[in-house]
Amino acid sequence: ANSDGLTPLDVALLDNNKSLIKMLIAYGAKEGNQ
């Protein structure tokens, strides 16, 4: 998570980066607890 408490998956979702989202989920990324 970065200094804002966002995980890489959260950042990808905010950026609507579908290919990155799929890659992160494939590697078991979890959404933050926002």
Output the average pLDDT for the chain: 80
Buried b (16+ CB within 10 A) or exposed e, 23-32: ebeeeeeeee
Which residues touch 2 (CB under 8 Å, ≥6 apart)?
11
Give the pLDDT confidence score for residue 33 in this predicted structure. 63
Give the pLDDT confidence score for residue 6 in this predicted structure. 83
Separation CA 26–CA 9 (nearest Å): 11
What is the tens place of the pLDDT at every residue in 16-25? Answer: 888 888 888 8
Cβ atoms 2, 10 nearer than 8 A: no
**3 or 7: which leads in pLDDT:** 7
12 — pLDDT class (breaks 50, 70, 90): confident
Query: What tokens does 20 get?
Result: 């990155």
Q: Any idea where the domains of the chain sit in the sequence?
A: 1-34
Give the pLDDT confidence score for residue 31 in this predicted structure. 67
